[in-house]
Each structure stands twice: as C-alpha cells, then as structure tokens.
Amino acid sequence: MDLFSLAGKTALVTGGTRGIGLMIARGLLEAGAAKVVVSSRKAEACEKAAAELSAFGNVEAIPADVSTEAECLRLAAEFGDGPLHVLVNNAGATWGAPLAEFPASAWDKVVDLNLKAPFFLTRALLPNLRAAAVEGDPARVINIGSIDGIMTPGERYSYTTSKAGVHQLTRVLAKELGPQQITVNAVAPGPFESKMMAATLDAFGEVIADTVPLKRIGRPDDMAGVAVFLASRAGAYVNGAVIPVDGGLTTL
Ligand SMILES: NC(=O)c1ccc[n+]([C@@H]2O[C@H](COP(=O)([O-])OP(=O)(O)OC[C@H]3O[C@@H](n4cnc5c(N)ncnc54)[C@H](OP(=O)(O)O)[C@@H]3O)[C@@H](O)[C@H]2O)c1
C-alpha cells in the first residue's frame, strides 16, 4: 500500500467543494495526504466542504475565482511558501447553445476557467511545486479535462475545445516541467454525478449509462482512484498522459 500512500503530501484542489473535485479531495485524504486545500468561488461552499472533508483528514479552504490571473496569484499567495506536492486543476464550467446563437460571453467564461486557469494557477504555484519535487517522487499537476475534449459533442463549442486545449496544455507543460521533477497529467472523465451534469443525467441518465461499455456512470471511487494513482509514487513515471476514466465511452 506504500506505493499508493500520500503520507506527508499537501494537495490543492480547485473546485474541490462539490462534484468531481470533492471526490478527488476525499480520495487524497483517504490515501493519507497530510493536508488538502480545497478552493472554489463561494466562501460558504468552501467552509461546508472543509467541514465535511475534515472527517477524513486535515483540510483547509481558500475561496478564489480562478478564472482571472489576479485571483490565481492571490490563491497562490494565500497558500503560502510551503511545498505543494499535488495540484489538481479541476474547477470547470460548461455552456450549451446552438451554433447560430452561441454567445461570445460563453467563450470567455468557459475558456477563462477551463483552459486559462490551469495555466496561470500552475505557473503561480511553480515555486511551491518545485519545493515538493524529488527525483523518483516528483510533484504532480493533475488537470481535469474531459472525454468531450476527445470526442465531438454538439453545441458545447467552447467546452469541448477548451478541454481539448487542456489535454494539449498538459502535454506541453509535461515536457517543459519534467526536467524539474514536476509531472503534468490529465484525467478525462466520462459521466459522473455533479451539479454540472445533474440536468443531463436527470433527463438521459439511463440512456447514457446504457451507452457506456461498462453500463454505468462513474462513481466517486473511480475518480478518487485515478487521482490517488497519479498523485502517489505509483504514478511517479507517468508524465504527459491523458487518461480517460469513462467506462470505455471513448472507444465508441
Ligand atoms: N461531471 C462530469 O461528468 C464531468 C465529465 C467530464 C469532465 N468534468 C470536469 O470535471 C470538473 C469538475 O466538474 P463537476 O462536474 O464536478 O462540476 P460542478 O459540480 O459544477 O463543480 C464545479 C466546481 O468548480 C467550482 N467553480 C466554478 N467556477 C469557478 C471559478 N470561476 N473559480 C473557482 N472555482 C469555480 C464550483 O464551486 P463554486 O460555485 O463555489 O465556485 C465547484 O466546486 C470540470 O472541469 C468539468 O469540466 C466533469
């Protein structure tokens, strides 16, 4: 089990207050992380998640809107000077509208959060990641992409392209930061229960589950498992990978 232990490691999870981020934060704590910092825009949501997660370990909450570089810099400053072993760039948003009506504002909102935030926050936290980086057990950046960045869904124009961008950014940063003993990988989730997916799963949950080769949607441990693997010594030699966690949906 030592191979998958996160003992002594500190992690920061953006959007860690609900959905996939909360699944990951809990998983990292259950694998023994010394501290997990969760962040999202709403202070109240941060406090609620921190209270819920404290049953599993040491949690801190720092509210921040990571869709601007200024807030990424403030979040990094509030995190402080300590080492950061695992950064999970998870906060994300989506937008759907027909081609003819798709608003410019939905490009800015989605790209600012999904694609620019992982870049600016990772850059802002590089001193902390470098401080945690050890040969054989590098610091880790885990970007949450999407199978929508691999497949071609309709009407979510800014979302699908932002996620394809996240996957490419992951590979570019993996190449650049690898020599500094910092790995950068992406997880491309399939369907998981969350606020973002609530309306879709309410309307089409059974059809979606039936379409997935494993005949179900994702469960919290499916997301926790891949995050723990990528964050632990078990994933130390994985760099620049985009890992679909989708029950096989991208094979269709
Ligand atoms: N659920 C799925 O099936 C699925 C599939 C593929 C990929 N994903 C990806 O997984 C990630 C998490 O999605 P989710 O489904 O868990 O969505 P969610 O339930 O809507 O959670 C989004 C999280 O991000 C935070 N957030 C939103 N805007 C933010 C901002 N500007 N700055 C900081 N935090 C912000 C939210 O909290 P606040 O409202 O307090 O800010 C919340 O904690 C996203 O990147 C999404 O694209 C999800």
Radius of gyration of the chain (CA): 17
The correct answer on CATH 3.20.20.70 for the domain covering 10-246 is no
What is the residue extent of each domain of the chain? 10-246
Q: Is 20 helix (H, G, I), strand (E, B) or coil?
A: helix
Q: Is the pLDDT of residue 56 over 70?
A: yes
- Confidence band (pLDDT; 50, 70, 90) for 26? very high
Ramachandran bin of 75, using left for φ above 0, alpha for ψ from -120 to 50, beta for the remaining angles: alpha
| Average confidence (pLDDT) over 205-214 | 97
Q: Each residue of 58-111: pLDDT tens digit? A: 999 999 999 999 999 999 999 999 999 999 999 999 999 999 999 999 999 999
Give percent helix, percent strand, percent coil of the chain, each to the nearest 5: 50, 15, 30
Q: How remote is the CA of residue 104 from the centroid of ligand 1, in Å? A: 21
- Residue 1: predicted pLDDT: 67
Ligand 1 centre distance from Cα of residue 171 (Å): 22
Ligand 1 atom closest to Cα of residue 17: 43
pLDDT in tens, 99-113: 999 999 999 999 999
Q: Among positive and negative, which fits the CA dihedral 62, 67, 71, 77? A: positive
Which residues sit with their C-beta closer than 6 Å to ligand 1?
14-15, 17-21, 40-42, 45, 65-67, 90-93, 113, 144, 146, 189, 191-192, 194-197
Catalytic residue among 79, 157, 159, 229: 159
pLDDT given for residue 147 in this prediction: 98
Cβ contacts of 60 within 8 Å, gap of 6 or more: 35, 36, 37, 38, 50
What percent of the chain has pLDDT above 90?
99
pLDDT at residue 249, rounded to an integer: 98
Structure confidence at residue 220 as a pLDDT band (50, 70, 90):
very high
Atom of ligand 1 nearest to the CA of 114: 45
